[in-house]
Amino acid sequence: MKQCFVVTTTKRLDSLLASLLNLSRVKVVKLIMNGQIKVNEKLTFKNSLIVAKDDVIKVEIHDETTSDFITSVEPYNLKLEVLFEDKDLMVINKPSGLLTHPTTFNEKASLLAACIFHNNKNPVYLVHRLDRDTSGAIVVCKNQASLLNLQNQLQNRTLKRYYVALVHFPFNALTGSINAPLARVNNNKVMFKIAQTAKAKQAITKFKVINQNEKAALISLELLTGRTHQIRVHLKFIQHPVYNDPLYGIKSEKKDSYGQFLHANRICFIHPTLNKPMDFHAPLEPKFSTKLKSLNLSLTDPLHVLFK
Protein backbone atom coordinates (compact mmCIF):
# COMPACT_ATOMS: atom_id res chain seq x y z
CA MET A 1 0.00 0.00 0.00
CA LYS A 2 1.42 3.38 -1.03
CA GLN A 3 0.10 6.85 -0.20
CA CYS A 4 1.44 10.33 -0.80
CA PHE A 5 0.49 13.54 1.06
CA VAL A 6 1.41 17.19 0.61
CA VAL A 7 1.62 18.96 3.97
CA THR A 8 -0.55 22.07 4.37
CA THR A 9 0.47 23.18 7.86
CA THR A 10 3.40 22.79 10.26
CA LYS A 11 2.91 19.73 12.46
CA ARG A 12 4.66 16.75 14.05
CA LEU A 13 5.03 13.87 11.61
CA ASP A 14 3.52 11.21 13.88
CA SER A 15 0.52 13.37 14.77
CA LEU A 16 -0.22 14.20 11.14
CA LEU A 17 0.05 10.59 9.95
CA ALA A 18 -2.14 9.35 12.80
CA SER A 19 -4.94 11.56 11.48
CA LEU A 20 -4.38 10.86 7.79
CA LEU A 21 -4.13 7.09 8.21
CA ASN A 22 -6.63 6.70 11.08
CA LEU A 23 -3.93 4.94 13.11
CA SER A 24 -2.80 5.19 16.71
CA ARG A 25 0.45 7.04 17.41
CA VAL A 26 2.01 3.72 18.46
CA LYS A 27 1.38 2.17 15.03
CA VAL A 28 2.60 5.29 13.23
CA VAL A 29 5.86 5.21 15.22
CA LYS A 30 6.33 1.57 14.18
CA LEU A 31 5.96 2.55 10.54
CA ILE A 32 8.56 5.29 10.95
CA MET A 33 11.01 3.07 12.84
CA ASN A 34 10.64 0.37 10.16
CA GLY A 35 11.75 2.77 7.43
CA GLN A 36 8.38 3.00 5.69
CA ILE A 37 8.04 6.79 5.72
CA LYS A 38 9.82 9.27 3.46
CA VAL A 39 9.74 13.06 3.77
CA ASN A 40 10.81 14.90 0.62
CA GLU A 41 12.20 11.61 -0.77
CA LYS A 42 14.39 10.98 2.29
CA LEU A 43 13.79 8.19 4.78
CA THR A 44 13.13 9.44 8.27
CA PHE A 45 13.29 7.55 11.55
CA LYS A 46 12.27 10.51 13.74
CA ASN A 47 8.63 10.42 14.79
CA SER A 48 8.86 13.90 16.36
CA LEU A 49 10.06 15.44 13.08
CA ILE A 50 8.30 18.74 12.36
CA VAL A 51 7.01 18.82 8.80
CA ALA A 52 6.18 22.11 7.11
CA LYS A 53 3.85 23.36 4.41
CA ASP A 54 4.53 21.80 0.96
CA ASP A 55 6.64 18.96 2.37
CA VAL A 56 5.82 15.68 0.63
CA ILE A 57 5.26 12.58 2.76
CA LYS A 58 5.30 9.14 1.20
CA VAL A 59 4.00 6.11 3.07
CA GLU A 60 4.77 2.59 1.89
CA ILE A 61 3.35 -0.31 3.86
CA HIS A 62 4.55 -3.63 2.48
CA ASP A 63 1.84 -6.16 1.71
CA GLU A 64 3.27 -8.78 4.05
CA THR A 65 3.23 -6.36 7.01
CA THR A 66 0.02 -4.49 6.32
CA SER A 67 -1.98 -6.45 8.88
CA ASP A 68 0.64 -5.68 11.53
CA PHE A 69 0.03 -1.96 11.18
CA ILE A 70 -3.42 -1.42 9.71
CA THR A 71 -6.20 -2.79 11.86
CA SER A 72 -9.12 -1.47 9.86
CA VAL A 73 -12.00 -0.01 11.82
CA GLU A 74 -15.04 -2.08 10.96
CA PRO A 75 -18.30 -0.20 10.27
CA TYR A 76 -20.63 -0.27 13.27
CA ASN A 77 -24.36 0.36 12.98
CA LEU A 78 -25.11 2.99 15.61
CA LYS A 79 -27.65 5.78 15.36
CA LEU A 80 -25.93 9.16 15.12
CA GLU A 81 -27.23 12.64 15.90
CA VAL A 82 -26.07 14.41 12.73
CA LEU A 83 -26.04 18.20 13.05
CA PHE A 84 -24.81 18.75 9.47
CA GLU A 85 -23.63 16.68 6.53
CA ASP A 86 -22.50 17.25 2.95
CA LYS A 87 -20.06 15.61 0.52
CA ASP A 88 -17.01 16.82 2.47
CA LEU A 89 -17.80 16.47 6.15
CA MET A 90 -20.19 15.66 8.98
CA VAL A 91 -20.77 17.40 12.30
CA ILE A 92 -21.96 14.92 14.93
CA ASN A 93 -23.31 15.39 18.46
CA LYS A 94 -21.34 12.61 20.17
CA PRO A 95 -23.02 10.98 23.17
CA SER A 96 -21.24 10.59 26.49
CA GLY A 97 -19.77 7.11 26.95
CA LEU A 98 -18.83 6.54 23.30
CA LEU A 99 -15.17 6.31 22.26
CA THR A 100 -14.18 8.68 19.48
CA HIS A 101 -11.71 6.13 18.08
CA PRO A 102 -11.01 2.50 19.07
CA THR A 103 -8.13 2.01 21.50
CA THR A 104 -5.50 -0.72 21.30
CA PHE A 105 -8.26 -3.09 22.46
CA ASN A 106 -9.97 -2.56 19.06
CA GLU A 107 -13.45 -1.92 20.47
CA LYS A 108 -16.25 -2.35 17.92
CA ALA A 109 -18.39 0.57 19.08
CA SER A 110 -16.83 3.98 18.42
CA LEU A 111 -17.83 7.24 16.78
CA LEU A 112 -15.37 6.55 13.96
CA ALA A 113 -16.88 3.11 13.27
CA ALA A 114 -20.41 4.52 13.35
CA CYS A 115 -19.47 7.32 10.93
CA ILE A 116 -17.91 4.80 8.53
CA PHE A 117 -21.18 2.84 8.56
CA HIS A 118 -23.18 6.06 8.07
CA ASN A 119 -20.92 7.03 5.15
CA ASN A 120 -21.87 3.89 3.18
CA LYS A 121 -18.85 2.11 4.70
CA ASN A 122 -16.42 4.54 3.05
CA PRO A 123 -13.45 5.95 5.00
CA VAL A 124 -13.84 9.01 7.21
CA TYR A 125 -11.25 11.08 9.10
CA LEU A 126 -11.35 12.68 12.55
CA VAL A 127 -10.39 16.35 12.66
CA HIS A 128 -10.17 16.31 16.47
CA ARG A 129 -11.27 14.07 19.33
CA LEU A 130 -13.38 14.11 22.46
CA ASP A 131 -12.81 12.04 25.59
CA ARG A 132 -15.07 9.00 25.89
CA ASP A 133 -17.29 10.63 28.53
CA THR A 134 -17.31 14.11 27.00
CA SER A 135 -20.36 14.69 24.82
CA GLY A 136 -20.92 17.19 22.03
CA ALA A 137 -19.96 18.53 18.63
CA ILE A 138 -17.19 16.86 16.65
CA VAL A 139 -16.19 17.23 12.99
CA VAL A 140 -15.55 14.19 10.79
CA CYS A 141 -14.26 14.57 7.22
CA LYS A 142 -15.07 12.40 4.21
CA ASN A 143 -11.85 13.13 2.33
CA GLN A 144 -8.24 13.89 3.20
CA ALA A 145 -8.24 17.31 1.52
CA SER A 146 -10.97 18.52 3.87
CA LEU A 147 -9.14 16.94 6.81
CA LEU A 148 -5.91 18.80 6.05
CA ASN A 149 -7.79 22.07 5.55
CA LEU A 150 -9.61 21.81 8.88
CA GLN A 151 -6.52 20.69 10.78
CA ASN A 152 -4.80 23.77 9.40
CA GLN A 153 -7.69 25.86 10.74
CA LEU A 154 -7.38 24.10 14.09
CA GLN A 155 -3.72 25.04 14.32
CA ASN A 156 -4.38 28.63 13.18
CA ARG A 157 -7.34 28.94 15.59
CA THR A 158 -9.91 29.70 12.89
CA LEU A 159 -11.63 26.47 13.93
CA LYS A 160 -13.08 27.38 17.32
CA ARG A 161 -14.40 24.99 19.98
CA TYR A 162 -16.62 25.93 22.89
CA TYR A 163 -17.67 23.81 25.85
CA VAL A 164 -19.94 23.95 28.88
CA ALA A 165 -18.97 22.34 32.17
CA LEU A 166 -20.71 21.78 35.47
CA VAL A 167 -18.13 22.40 38.17
CA HIS A 168 -17.85 22.45 41.94
CA PHE A 169 -18.02 25.73 43.92
CA PRO A 170 -18.88 29.30 42.85
CA PHE A 171 -16.40 31.68 41.20
CA ASN A 172 -15.25 35.08 42.43
CA ALA A 173 -14.20 36.29 38.97
CA LEU A 174 -16.95 35.69 36.38
CA THR A 175 -14.51 35.55 33.45
CA GLY A 176 -10.89 34.54 33.13
CA SER A 177 -8.14 32.74 31.28
CA ILE A 178 -6.09 29.76 32.45
CA ASN A 179 -2.59 29.61 30.96
CA ALA A 180 -0.86 26.58 32.45
CA PRO A 181 1.26 24.02 30.53
CA LEU A 182 0.41 20.32 30.68
CA ALA A 183 2.53 17.18 30.89
CA ARG A 184 1.85 13.52 31.59
CA VAL A 185 1.84 12.35 35.18
CA ASN A 186 4.99 10.27 35.78
CA ASN A 187 4.48 6.54 35.19
CA ASN A 188 0.85 7.12 34.20
CA LYS A 189 -0.35 6.57 30.62
CA VAL A 190 -3.71 8.26 31.20
CA MET A 191 -3.47 11.30 33.47
CA PHE A 192 -2.00 14.78 32.93
CA LYS A 193 -0.88 17.54 35.29
CA ILE A 194 0.22 21.16 35.33
CA ALA A 195 3.99 21.23 34.88
CA GLN A 196 6.88 23.58 34.17
CA THR A 197 9.17 21.11 32.43
CA ALA A 198 10.78 20.80 29.02
CA LYS A 199 8.16 18.24 27.97
CA ALA A 200 5.18 20.33 29.12
CA LYS A 201 3.02 21.79 26.35
CA GLN A 202 1.40 25.20 26.37
CA ALA A 203 -2.31 25.08 27.21
CA ILE A 204 -4.74 28.02 27.33
CA THR A 205 -8.42 27.91 28.27
CA LYS A 206 -10.83 30.87 28.56
CA PHE A 207 -13.90 30.63 30.81
CA LYS A 208 -17.08 32.56 31.61
CA VAL A 209 -19.65 31.86 34.33
CA ILE A 210 -23.18 31.30 32.99
CA ASN A 211 -24.93 30.59 36.29
CA GLN A 212 -23.85 29.65 39.80
CA ASN A 213 -24.94 29.18 43.40
CA GLU A 214 -23.24 28.33 46.69
CA LYS A 215 -22.50 24.74 45.59
CA ALA A 216 -21.80 24.71 41.87
CA ALA A 217 -21.34 26.69 38.67
CA LEU A 218 -22.23 26.20 35.03
CA ILE A 219 -19.49 27.73 32.91
CA SER A 220 -18.64 28.18 29.24
CA LEU A 221 -15.12 27.51 27.99
CA GLU A 222 -13.14 28.17 24.83
CA LEU A 223 -10.11 26.10 23.93
CA LEU A 224 -7.23 28.17 22.56
CA THR A 225 -5.07 25.04 22.48
CA GLY A 226 -6.19 21.43 22.24
CA ARG A 227 -4.29 19.29 24.74
CA THR A 228 -5.56 15.96 26.02
CA HIS A 229 -7.72 16.47 29.15
CA GLN A 230 -6.93 20.20 28.97
CA ILE A 231 -10.21 21.56 30.35
CA ARG A 232 -10.44 18.94 33.07
CA VAL A 233 -6.88 19.49 34.32
CA HIS A 234 -7.18 23.28 34.13
CA LEU A 235 -10.41 23.30 36.13
CA LYS A 236 -8.89 21.07 38.78
CA PHE A 237 -5.89 23.44 38.89
CA ILE A 238 -8.10 26.45 39.72
CA GLN A 239 -9.99 24.35 42.30
CA HIS A 240 -13.23 24.05 40.35
CA PRO A 241 -13.14 20.38 39.26
CA VAL A 242 -15.81 19.08 36.89
CA TYR A 243 -18.68 17.22 38.51
CA ASN A 244 -18.45 13.43 38.32
CA ASP A 245 -14.94 13.46 36.80
CA PRO A 246 -13.40 10.03 37.53
CA LEU A 247 -9.80 11.21 37.00
CA TYR A 248 -9.63 14.82 38.14
CA GLY A 249 -12.74 15.23 40.28
CA ILE A 250 -13.19 15.38 44.04
CA LYS A 251 -12.29 11.96 45.43
CA SER A 252 -15.02 12.00 48.07
CA GLU A 253 -17.73 12.79 45.50
CA LYS A 254 -20.17 9.96 44.91
CA LYS A 255 -19.87 9.33 41.17
CA ASP A 256 -22.06 7.45 38.69
CA SER A 257 -21.37 5.87 35.31
CA TYR A 258 -22.14 9.02 33.27
CA GLY A 259 -18.63 10.42 33.53
CA GLN A 260 -17.63 14.08 33.69
CA PHE A 261 -20.31 16.72 33.05
CA LEU A 262 -18.46 18.34 30.16
CA HIS A 263 -20.10 19.05 26.80
CA ALA A 264 -18.72 20.45 23.52
CA ASN A 265 -21.67 22.69 22.77
CA ARG A 266 -20.44 24.73 19.82
CA ILE A 267 -17.98 24.52 16.93
CA CYS A 268 -17.20 27.15 14.27
CA PHE A 269 -15.01 26.94 11.16
CA ILE A 270 -14.71 27.94 7.51
CA HIS A 271 -16.07 25.25 5.21
CA PRO A 272 -13.09 23.69 3.37
CA THR A 273 -14.65 23.83 -0.11
CA LEU A 274 -17.55 26.31 0.17
CA ASN A 275 -15.27 28.82 1.95
CA LYS A 276 -18.12 30.13 4.10
CA PRO A 277 -18.46 30.37 7.90
CA MET A 278 -20.13 27.41 9.61
CA ASP A 279 -21.49 27.53 13.16
CA PHE A 280 -23.06 24.54 14.93
CA HIS A 281 -24.60 24.06 18.38
CA ALA A 282 -24.98 20.64 19.99
CA PRO A 283 -27.85 20.24 22.50
CA LEU A 284 -27.14 18.95 26.00
CA GLU A 285 -27.93 15.33 26.80
CA PRO A 286 -31.02 14.81 29.01
CA LYS A 287 -28.90 13.52 31.91
CA PHE A 288 -26.79 16.69 31.85
CA SER A 289 -29.93 18.86 31.95
CA THR A 290 -31.36 16.75 34.78
CA LYS A 291 -28.16 17.20 36.79
CA LEU A 292 -28.36 20.96 36.34
CA LYS A 293 -31.92 21.01 37.64
CA SER A 294 -30.95 18.91 40.66
CA LEU A 295 -28.42 21.61 41.57
CA ASN A 296 -30.87 24.46 40.86
CA LEU A 297 -28.83 25.61 37.88
CA SER A 298 -31.45 25.37 35.14
CA LEU A 299 -30.62 27.43 32.06
CA THR A 300 -32.65 30.61 31.68
CA ASP A 301 -32.01 30.53 27.91
CA PRO A 302 -31.11 27.73 25.49
CA LEU A 303 -27.37 27.31 24.90
CA HIS A 304 -27.59 28.47 21.28
CA VAL A 305 -29.03 31.79 22.54
CA LEU A 306 -26.47 32.19 25.33
CA PHE A 307 -23.56 31.64 22.95
CA LYS A 308 -24.57 33.92 20.09
Could you list the active site residues?
A: 131
Q: Residue 298 to residues 45, 291, 301: CA-CA distances in angstroms?
A: 54, 9, 9
In SS3 terms, 12-67 reads as EHHHHHHHHHCCCHHHHHHHHHCCCEEECCEECCCCCCEECCCCEEEEECCHHHHH
Q: Residue 58 to residues 8, 13, 17: CA-CA distances in angstroms?
A: 15, 11, 10
132, 184 Cβ separation under 8 angstroms: no
Question: Would you give the distance in Å from CA 145 to the centre of its chain?
Answer: 19
Number of H helices, E strands in the chain: 8, 18
Secondary structure percentages of the chain, helix, strand, coil, to 5: 20, 30, 50
38, 44 Cβ separation under 8 angstroms: yes
Q: Which of 241, 237, 202 is nearest to 219 (CA)?
A: 241
By CB atoms closer than 10 A (0-12, 13-18, 19+), residue 250 is: middle
CA 232 to CA 223: how far, in whole Å? 12
CA 223 to CA 162: how far, in whole Å? 7
